[in-house]
Structures are given as structure tokens and as C-alpha cells.
Structure 1
């Protein structure tokens, strides 16, 4: 990135999607970045989901919003247990020329280094664990959940549980890289209820995911933001 990067702070999944739409509508001439503190629960579907009226009704019962993102992939349950980041890179930016896998790997390493700066150890997902993890996902019929699967650049804890999920969307304007970091216990049972109408006593997603020990203070989040900016800035 360059010193011209535009940085925003957002507080909801709906504001996040509006921020993306507004930047693309006005034209992307410089990198833009948004940190998202999800103050309220919000179910974020990929571009092929989110139009199920029954699911929207169940979400309303739990005071959970529903929105849809531009990128593909499975459903994400955002809320106070998650920190988000969106990075928009114009087409002429060097990082926008990376392949999908290269972009994911670079983005994931930036997160890994920023967390390491705070004393939090994570591991980059590698192809040798993709299949093993996917077998568990299919076993429990959770392939519709973004955090159930593992892909390039995503981060795992020491026990192989996913802590960081990534998504990507591209157009003539450039590249959008999105990330969600788990920082608290996620009510995965609510996600399953909203999507399917069935509320399990215990979701198998708890065994596939884990929060990082970042802490709940605003100071801890700000330190992470500062370190992330430092690592993302090294993109020349």
C-alpha cells in the first residue's frame, strides 16, 4: 500500500457491504482499507446465498441481521466474537496482479505476522491439511459454512482449528481481500438454526474453529490494527 490508503472503521456487516459498494461505484484510484468491529450479530452469505426468506425470519427471531457479500464462499456469522478487515486494491496495484493463491498467501502471512507481534502463535494452512479437514466438514454436512473449510492463506491454531477466514473478489477495478478473525466464542448453534431451522445442542463447528487470545479491550484491538497496517504497508 502507499501513504494514500484510505482507512475506515465500521461497526456492522451491513455497513461493511455498503462501504465496498460505495468505493466501487465511485471508482477505485487508491488502496482503501476498512476495519470492522461487528457490534451486532449478522449472518453474511456469499454472493449465491442470502435470499432465503425462512432463514431471514429465523435470523430476526435472534435479532441477527442478514446481508450478502460480493465474494463467494460459505456463510459467515459475524458479531462481537469476530474482527473483520476489507482491503481494496486498484487494478494497477502490484498486489492486484498476484494469482488468487498468491494473494491469499500474502494476506494470510500479514495477519500471521501481526498476531505474532502480539505474542499469538498461528500456522498457515497448507494443502496437506485441506483434505483431512474437508473430510470432517463433509461428515457433519457443514460445507455451507465459511469457517468450516480451510483454504490457502488461512490461519490455524496449534490444534489445527481455524482462527482466520479469508475471501477474495476480483473485477476490472482490482481486487478485494476480506478477512475475519475469531476473537471470542462463536454461537455456532445459532448459525445452524438460522440456516436450517434446527438448533443443535452442540455444533461441531466448535471443534473445527477457535478464537485467538487477543482480549476484549479496545487497546488490544487497536494494537492488532497497528501491526496489521505495518505488515500490509510493505507491498511495494
Structure 2
């Protein structure tokens, strides 16, 4: 199990490194992608989110997870899951182009990382580290608040309603699992919070791209993206902090 987890950490480092190179190339090379104008904000927003937030977060959570930090490991699952969803979208959405082989490779590397990470989970360790008492109640309240925020988001920004309702479902599942003290609660919660935080970062980057291009943007949509990013980030940090250390933390 330890060797499998070490392999997953190594793959995560590789994903982060290649993703930085691909995102930087996409950002600085003009007209690299042959795509319709209405798709460009989404693509470039995603690439900037990878470069400025996603890759650093993956590197940090991977390093902390490798040191046995259970709270960071919960967020690490979320970071890897976001990279998986991001590169399946880029590989299929952009079609055949200069970065298609790299995006496809990143998709398969992210998938392999997530699969190996899941089969390496020590459920007993996660069970021992579950938050208790007021910390658990606070997390449940935070997930319920995020469900409400995602519901509002789907009304203000219906273009991304699918992503927002997907996040709301993940938060609902996490709140229920924390309520019944399931060992899967921090894993599902980590995936939900990190993916939503990075989704918010992507929306902020898209808004910035459109603003630079002189496109009028709804103020409500911008503030909504900022709220999604900061609230979900705070919830993720709270989740990591309230995961209690276990005696054999470094051995997991």
C-alpha cells in the first residue's frame, strides 16, 4: 500500500510539472488553439487557473500527503480529481491540435494517479482522523452553506449550472457522510471543496480574460465567482485543519 501511494505521489508531481509547461505554452503562444471565439474564455480561463492555482495546489497537497498529513491527503484527492476533469475536457474540447497529445497524456496520468490513490486508501486511518464534536458540526454547516451558494450560483450564472449543481450534490453527500461519521466523508468533502475552489478560480480567470478583451461582464457573476473561490477554499482549509493526526500518520 505504501509503495502504491508513493507511486501516486510521483505521478501527481509529473502531472503538475507537465501541466505547468502546457498551460504556460498556451498562455504565451498566440493563436495556438484553433477554436471558436466563444470557447476561448473558457479554455484560457482554465489554463490560467491551472498555472496560477491548480498546479501549485497539487504540488503542495502532494508534498504534505507524502509526509503523512491526513488533512492534506483529503484535499489532494480533490486536486487530482480536478486535473482529471480538466484534461478530459481540454483533450476532447479542443480537438486535434499542438497540445492534444499533452492534454491526452495528462488525462491518462491524472486518471492513473486517482485510481492508484483510491486503491491505496487506508480507511482505518481516515476513520481515526475524522473530526469530532463542534468541528464536525461546523463542517456539516459549511457544506450546507455551500449547497445554498451553489443553488444561488446556478440562477445567476446558468451557463455553468451543471458544474454548480454537481458541486452541490458533492457537498450534500459530504454533509450526510459527516453526519453518520463515515470514513469517506473527508475524501468526498475534499474532492468537492477543491474542485469547487478551482472552478471558482477558473471563472475569475475567464472574467479577467473577457475584461481585457473589452467584453462587458455581469458584476453579480464576478462577485459570485469570487465568493465560490474564497468560501470553498476556506471550507477546504477548515477540513484539513480539523482532521486529527493519528499515531502512525507518517506510515500511511
Give the structure-1-normalised TM-score: 0.36
- Name whichever structure is richer in strand by fraction: 1
- Name whichever structure is richer in helix by fraction: 2
Higher relative contact order (CA 8 A, sep 6+): 2
